[in-house]
Structure 1
Amino acid sequence: MRNHKATTAAAALAAALLLTGCGGGSQGAGAKTVPGADTTGSATPSASASATPADRANRPKVTLPAGDVLTFDPEKTGDPVKDTILADNAGYLRAIDEAIDKQDLRSKNLAFYSADQARIGNAEWIGGFVKDGTTVTGTVRYFNRQVTVDKDGSAGLTYCGDETKGFTKDRKTGKVNVTPPDKDSYVSYVTRLRKNTQGVWQTTVVNSVRGDQKCQP
């Protein structure tokens, strides 16, 4: 399981880095929310919700840590708009793990896929791993991914995370912190996304609940 508590120092460092480098809103991280939670916030202006081939161009290359695997179900729905949203959500989640491994609170790849509260919440989450001296490894399965596109051009995406085979790893010793699976190995996510002028569906708000009954096997 990849749960941890972001320390005050880590959160302060994240906020300071964002204020000087990225900007953003506010989002918390804690034992019951991963990675971050917020129920309010402004959304950035967007282009229309229509998808074109150009929408999938120029996505950055994201490199996961060695031994880290993320799977997504479903990956596609057959609807071009929803499929772009699912793909950008997958890019967002991969960028989080990449930033954790690189200890990069100013990750350009993560900034590419996130904005507003989600961006500062991600930095707090990553800062907790930096403080703990850990990275991530193993397999995390994201499932029951469901997209709703709203009339205002924004989108909602809900999904579950299965961390029964996903763990943290000590950077110095390389020891994997294996924990037995339990109800807290499953996390529910409710997210908001908005398409920016470059055609990228950026995650702007994340609400998560560890141990949510609806994600239990």
Structure 2
Amino acid sequence: MNRRPTLLAALALTATTALTLSACGSDDDNPTKDSDKIAGADTGGEKSASPSASTDPGGRPTITFPSDAKNVFEGGKTGDPTKDAVLAHNAFSVNSVDEAIFKGSTDTKALGFYNADKALSSSITYAQRYIDDDDTWTGVTRYFNRKVTLSGDNKAYVTYCSDESKSYIKSKKTGKVDKSPASSDSYVLYNAALTRNAKGIWQTTDLVSERGATSCQP
């Protein structure tokens, strides 16, 4: 494992049945388990909303990353506009947590915009750990095998994997980068629950993850 410390103790998605629905739906066959982390989307860029900045149309928060960090999401187009919106907003949710780490503050517009309930509280706690340790991260994290299961008009579940083998913890104080070698722990499986709010935003409301998951290994 190169990059993240583990997130928190596992969060239970409104019960295990939610995870089962996500894992067994027509779009996914991945299991899920314990806890770990959250991270970003196809972004980078320093301050301005450049092509590498993460933006969402309609006056929604813009998320920017420093120039030495980038998150890449694969497979964002399913052909179903609702599923595509879920994937896009889940990516913004993940992005927003990393932005809080980069900015050294959990009081960002995007964090509470794309996350709610348990996911918001765990995201704040997770980012605050970086902030308290005066750490950030650098490199590229890849997100892949992203699958959506819809449940009614306003609920959805997303499973996805992350590859952290090319992203590393970086000390803000010294600039030192911990380039520990990649291992099976560099790969993480996630199950996220999302709810569409009154503004039409698919907020991530809960998240569980498994570091070193077999289904995410190369």
TM-score range, shorter chain: 0.7 to 0.9
* C-alpha deviation, 1:59, in angstroms: 2.2
Residues 77 and 208 (structure 1), Cα distance of their counterparts in 2 relative to 1, 3 Å cut? same
Show the counterpart of 1:182: 183
Show the counterpart of 1:165: 166
- Quote the Cα distance in structure 1 between the aligned partners of 2:209 and 2:132: 22
> Alignment length, in residue pairs?
177
Asked if the contact 1:73–1:143 (Cα under 8 Å) also holds between the matched residues in 2, the reply is yes
Asked if the contact 1:115–1:203 (Cα under 8 Å) also holds between the matched residues in 2, the reply is yes
The runs of 4+ residues in structure 1 deviating greater than 6 Å are none
Show the counterpart of 2:214: 213
* C-alpha deviation, 1:56, in angstroms: 4.7
Residue by residue over 1:14-46, the C-alpha shift from the partner in whole angstroms, topping out at 9 and shown as x without a partner, is xxxxxxxxxxxxxxx34xx6xxx411449xxxx
Show the counterpart of 2:47: none
* C-alpha deviation, 1:152, in angstroms: 5.6
3-state DSSP class of the match of 1:130?
Answer: helix
Residue by residue over 1:77-113, the C-alpha shift from the partner in whole angstroms, topping out at 9 and shown as x without a partner, is 1110011111111111111111001111222211100
- Quote the Cα distance in structure 1 between the aligned partners of 2:161 and 2:88: 16
Letter in 2 for 1:39: A
Show the counterpart of 2:94: 93
Match runs of 1:36-47 below 5 Å: 37-41=10-14
Asked if the contact 1:41–1:117 (Cα under 8 Å) also holds between the matched residues in 2, the reply is no
- Quote the Cα distance in structure 2 between the aligned partners of 1:114 and 1:73: 21
CA RMSD of aligned residues (A): 1.7
* C-alpha deviation, 1:162, in angstroms: 0.2
Residue by residue over 1:109-157, the C-alpha shift from the partner in whole angstroms, topping out at 9 and shown as x without a partner, is 1110000000000011011101211011100000000001112620000
- Quote the Cα distance in structure 1 between the aligned partners of 2:175 and 2:169: 10
- Quote the Cα distance in structure 2 between the aligned partners of 1:153 and 1:92: 17
Q: Identify, as 1 or 2, the structure richer in helix.
A: 1
- Quote the Cα distance in structure 2 between the aligned partners of 1:96 and 1:118: 10
Show the counterpart of 2:192: 191
* C-alpha deviation, 1:65, in angstroms: 2.3
Letter in 1 for 2:184: K
Letter in 2 for 1:200: I
Asked if the contact 2:13–2:207 (Cα under 8 Å) also holds between the matched residues in 1, the reply is no
Match runs of 1:43-192 below 5 Å: 56-151=57-152, 153-192=154-193
Give the structure, 1 or 2, with the largest relative contact order (CA under 8 Å, sep 6 or more): 1
Residues 69 and 83 (structure 1), Cα distance of their counterparts in 2 relative to 1, 3 Å cut? same
3-state DSSP class of the match of 1:197?
Answer: coil
- Output the TM-score relative to the length of structure 2: 0.77
